[in-house]
Structure 1
């Protein structure tokens, strides 16, 4: 990836950078906070070690950007205040797709441009890797997030008509194991 992706302009007082293995504790904390916000805190089973293993090996299952405060005249420490986690998938209709799995900025840092910059970085990756679209899911009660994404140009595909005829299914681990052993 280009150097611009890693070191492009960021909101004042913050940098947006690729996540590193040592960031996993902070990312897990934000994952839990996001899940709590969506009423799904009881579902979070990810650990720092699992996140590190899955995202920072030879074949990562996800990629991630973090937003980090920069030191100033009052403090030399930094703080991770947001993240955008994504992975790649394939759509037989259109080809390559970048999927935004998680996106979070601590409430006290919202409105500062950090979220826009995180989304911009994910979009840059999608463009560089020749993805045809970026997809993500937003909780139906999170109207603030929906307005944010729409302001950036995202389209709610559930109102496009034809996608309302489809349902989202999943196999959990016990179901996959049962199916795999048939």
Structure 2
């Protein structure tokens, strides 16, 4: 199947938003999605973007049953490891189910790796659900290490009230 991976544009945000919801449905967390395509436009296409994104696009002849030509995306941002230096964090990698098995996921992942290497990143990191063995196998086949098993890392989050409480405890200027 012919497809191309390219940098996302502001005009792609409706499709990216659609696929974010499809991913959320897949992982049984659709009720957790609070972001809109307007927020994606604002946060990804401003002078200092919070994220970058690449999309997989097929030609009209291969469009989805619903008529979509954007069939996958990889959303990522840059972080910093105090031990290793520049890093890229892959927040989402998604390919519509009817297009899986055609190398699109590998194309998206490889493009993010290539972009990271050009920006002198020394590692690509991501997290995924422990039950998603298909994704775990995909990343492992590409050489990823599961740090949960090998190094015992835990992924921690503050949000909602816990984030508010923490912010309210910040020293005042």
TM-score scaled by structure 1?
0.85
Supply the distance in 2 between the matched residues of 1:109 and 1:86 (Cα, whole angstroms): 21
Supply the distance in 2 between the matched residues of 1:167 and 1:131 (Cα, whole angstroms): 22
Supply the distance in 2 between the matched residues of 1:175 and 1:78 (Cα, whole angstroms): 39
Note if contact 2:62-2:69 (Cα within 8 Å) is conserved in structure 1: no
Supply the distance in 1 between the matched residues of 2:86 and 2:62 (Cα, whole angstroms): 45
Deviation at 1:158, TM superposition (A): 1.5
The answer for unaligned runs of 5 or more in structure 1 is 1-11
**Aligned to 1:52, what secondary structure does the other structure show?**
helix
Deviation at 1:177, TM superposition (A): 2.9
What residue number does 2:49 align with? 60
What residue number does 2:161 align with? 174
Note if contact 1:64-1:85 (Cα within 8 Å) is conserved in structure 2: yes
Comparing 46-55 with 146-155, greater Cα deviation is found at 146-155
Note if contact 2:77-2:89 (Cα within 8 Å) is conserved in structure 1: yes
Deviation at 1:73, TM superposition (A): 9.9
What residue number does 1:6 align with? none
1:74-104, Cα deviation, whole Å (9 max, x unpaired): 9xx7610000000000111111110000000
Note if contact 2:74-2:108 (Cα within 8 Å) is conserved in structure 1: yes
What residue number does 1:20 align with? 9
Of 65, 75, 83, which residue of structure 1 is paired with 2:73?
Answer: 83
Supply the distance in 2 between the matched residues of 1:138 and 1:30 (Cα, whole angstroms): 17
Deviation at 1:173, TM superposition (A): 3.9
Of 98, 110, 121, which residue of structure 1 is paired with 2:100?
Answer: 110
The answer for unaligned runs of 5 or more in structure 2 is none
Note if contact 1:82-1:105 (Cα within 8 Å) is conserved in structure 2: yes
Deviation at 1:115, TM superposition (A): 0.8
Alignment size in residue pairs: 166
Aligned Cα root-mean-square deviation (Å): 1.8
